[in-house]
Structure 1
């Protein structure tokens, strides 16, 4: 029997060490931003330093959504808020988020294999689905 939570947590500790919590999210944000011309346009509308910090905060909040149907207040506000303080991503971006995150894990974790990527996919799935669904309900395209 595989314990995917253990695989995920061990990988998480390798890619986000105590002494450098930011570089993983910078790499992830850069990958996410450049996934498609649409993501490039979307992220070009916000300051570069804002994106990785937002992804960092969102990532740890979404890990709390682990299938027990509990959503932290912070994540709920972030998902629903359509002002400068919210995540403000269109629903279709969440599949790209998943792909960019798994690609970043593959790049940054020297022990990465298919089982570790499966563990990551399982760990982030409930939170990403929550964010995607909230985007379906609340996302409004930004005025250019």
Structure 2
């Protein structure tokens, strides 16, 4: 006989956090990250409600299945310092073959800035030296923008 777990939540945020954990577990080790629309949905669930900029990375295996989702850098309401070395370190530690970069814009406007485009290229170049592909950089706001779809990768 299957016994259901009973959870007690004290806030709406705890409910949302639990739902995000369930979504992340279901996305792990599936080929979902070959589809940009599904990737945008996953990242929106993870990042849309932050009040400050957060820069994360999806670490992927050779089949583009999720090895790990990591939030690496935390900033202010309109910027975050990002270090390619730390992204490379996380990718090597997880034995990732490819990555998808992501960050949120707390303003809700998901248009890439020149700084977003420049850091994406800097990270792409750094990771390519160690044979790790940068597949995309998705900006999360009220909608989501893929830099690969825009031709920046």
The structure with the largest helix share of the pair is 1
TM-score interval, smaller chain: 0.3 to 0.5
The structure with the largest strand share of the pair is 2
